Amino acid sequence: MANRGSFSGKIGFILAAAGSAVGLGNIWRFPYLAGQNGGAAFLVIYLICIFTLCFPVMIGEIAIGRKAQSDAYGSYQKLGGGKWGYLGLFGILAGVFILSFYNVVAGWAFGYFLEISFGNLLDTQDFGAFFGTYINNVGIISVFSIGFMVLTALVVSQGVQKGIEAANKIMMPALYAILIGLIIYSLTLPNAIEGVKFYLVPNLSEINTQTLFDGLRQAFFSLSLGMGTLMTYGSYVDKKQNIVASASIISIADTSVAFLAGLMVFPMVAAIGAYDVQGPSLVFVVLTEVFHNMGPTTGKIVGGSFFLLLCFAALTSTISLLEVPVAYLVDQKKLPRKPVVWGVATLIFVVGIPSLLSQGKVEFFSHLTFYKDRDFLTFISDMCDLSLTIGGCMLCIFIRGKWKIANMNEELSIGNPGYMNSYLRKYVSFSIMWTCPILLGILSLLIIFDKFVGIEYIFG
Ligand code: PFF
């Protein structure tokens, strides 16, 4: 086989996969979902989803990639034959759509990082209005989104080891360092303890079916599961490595960053008592006001660090998202990596234009009549979340019905000789045969129903 590239070793793979997992999902989306869904109660549901549904799927996904040594399409095709390759294509397509809207939000973060660092943002008084106007300034947001996509493409075009691995080896430690620094600072703010309580004391009255759906889709999204990212990264891993151990570290790394992001954000929310600010604007509006209140110098340093953190997190994820279609075209169509990277990056930016225009700029995209008047970015993000749970369900069906559990276990015991006789093998095998496909199948159907009709018709 032509030289596809590979990670240099265990650390390179783990950092890259953790980099894919840790992203806007952890720092931008997790805190606001937790805030909307009863704080710690959401955390508990999220952890249950990670352990029962995501962890086994992650192991299966990496195992398929390493066994087949191919991209998402090629892996399914190689191990399953027939029409199974289409499942890989479905994932690749989902990845293209995820990156299309993700890059827009990354553009907001990149813009805020530059604005705060140069001081403009801190001059405003009404942060909500500023945010609304800012993300509707299509010219500026296009520039930042293109800038972000260019950074992503520059890394991916360098290949697996010199690009993806090297970038993650710098950005991931930096990300942790900034996060820890910001948490320490945040906990010294007035009222910090109130924020921590809001975050960590469960508010059971706010748990409902929505909490369950939000927990599940967030867990899948956060771990980058169900669309072939970890399959593609797994295909760059050598046979010496212990997949189960790596998957454990990746899951723990991702979950801890989501947890810590909440610990950083809620004391800041408490500092200005802005508990009522909900949804996607949480970090952009509330935190920016907190940075403003810190005074010009501290505000610039702390605020700049926060948005730099957000950019690093986003970039390590966009890199992995771009790699999935690129690997497909390089492996299957035998095209050269560099031109493919730039071509795909351009195409995905274009696919993202409706998301970019959907924050009020263009009425049609801002209020979709067929989607309960919600905006296009929310629509596409919801559909992508759904594709991930469907992808996860199908992955289990594939392993169970086609590739066979015994083959998966054989692959998993390479680099992990004790695996065959472990309880973990029983747990993972049972989950992939029963728990995951059944629960993911039911939940995917309920999510479809909820999104287009409304779950209240079933559960009242
Ligand atoms: N896991 C990333 C996040 O939490 O922001 C998003 C993501 C990256 C989802 C890669 C899916 C993916 F394949």
Q: Which of 91-95, 98-102, 177-181, 296-300 has the lowest mean pLDDT?
A: 296-300
Nearest-angstrom CA–CA distance, 264 and 362: 35
Three-state SS string over 393-418 comes to HHHHHHHHHHHCHHHHHHHHHCCCCC
Kindly state the average pLDDT of the residues 404-419. Answer: 98
Pocket test for ligand 1, best of 26, 221, 387 (most atoms within 8 A of CB): 221
Domain that holds residue 292: 2-459
How close is the Cα of 18 to the center of ligand 1, in Å?
10
Within its chain, how far is the Cα of 240 from the centroid?
28
- Which one-letter DSSP state was computed for residue 278? -
Q: Does the beta carbon of 227 lie inside 6 Å of ligand 1?
A: yes
pLDDT of residue 119: 76
Q: Does the beta carbon of 25 lie inside 6 Å of ligand 1?
A: yes
Q: Does the beta carbon of 95 lie inside 6 Å of ligand 1?
A: yes
Kindly state the average pLDDT of the residues 108-137. Answer: 89
Kindly state the average pLDDT of the residues 97-107. Answer: 98
Phi, psi of 334 (to 5 degrees): 55, 40
How close is the Cα of 417 to the center of ligand 1, in Å?
31
Q: Does the beta carbon of 20 lie inside 6 Å of ligand 1?
A: yes
Kindly state the average pLDDT of the residues 237-257. Answer: 97
Domain count, the chain: 1
Provide the 3-class DSSP secondary structure of residue 293: helix
pLDDT of residue 383: 96
How close is the Cα of 412 to the center of ligand 1, in Å?
24
Task: Check if the beta carbon of residue 218 is closer than 8 Å to that of residue 315.
Answer: no
Give the residue carrying structure tokens 């351009």.
Answer: 346
Task: Check if the beta carbon of residue 155 is closer than 8 Å to that of residue 163.
Answer: yes
User: Which atom of ligand 1 has the smallest separation from the CA of 228?
Assistant: 13
Nearest-angstrom CA–CA distance, 56 and 431: 6
What is the Cα gyration radius of the chain?
21
Rounded to the nearest integer, the mean pLDDT of the chain is 94
User: Is residue 79 very low, low, confident or very high in pLDDT (cuts 50, 70, 90)?
Assistant: very high
For residue 374, the cross-strand partners are 368
**Which residue has its alpha carbon closest to ligand 1 atom 10?**
224
User: Is residue 97 very low, low, confident or very high in pLDDT (cuts 50, 70, 90)?
Assistant: very high
Q: Does the beta carbon of 229 lie inside 6 Å of ligand 1?
A: yes
The CA–CA distances, whole Å, from 429 to 238, 286, 419 equal 23, 44, 12
For the record, the structure tokens of 73 come out as: 């399409």
Question: How many of the other CB atoms lie within 10 Å of CB of 453?
Answer: 11
- Which one-letter DSSP state was computed for residue 368? B
Q: Is pLDDT above 70 for 456?
A: no
Domain CATH number, residue 270 = 1.10.4160.10
Question: What would the pLDDT profile of 177-222 be if each residue is shown by its tens digit?
Answer: 999 999 999 999 999 999 999 899 887 887 888 888 889 999 999 9
For the record, the structure tokens of 130 come out as: 């500023």
Task: Check if the beta carbon of residue 57 is closer than 8 Å to that of residue 293.
Answer: no
Q: Is pLDDT above 90 for 458?
A: no
Question: What would the pLDDT profile of 65-78 be if each residue is shown by its tens digit?
Answer: 999 999 999 999 99
User: What one-character-per-residue DSSP string does 231-263 give?
Assistant: HHHHTTS-TTS-HHHHHHHHHHHHHHHHHHHHH
Task: Check if the beta carbon of residue 319 is closer than 8 Å to that of residue 344.
Answer: no
Question: What would the pLDDT profile of 288-338 be if each residue is shown by its tens digit?
Answer: 999 999 988 999 999 999 999 999 999 999 999 999 999 999 999 999 999
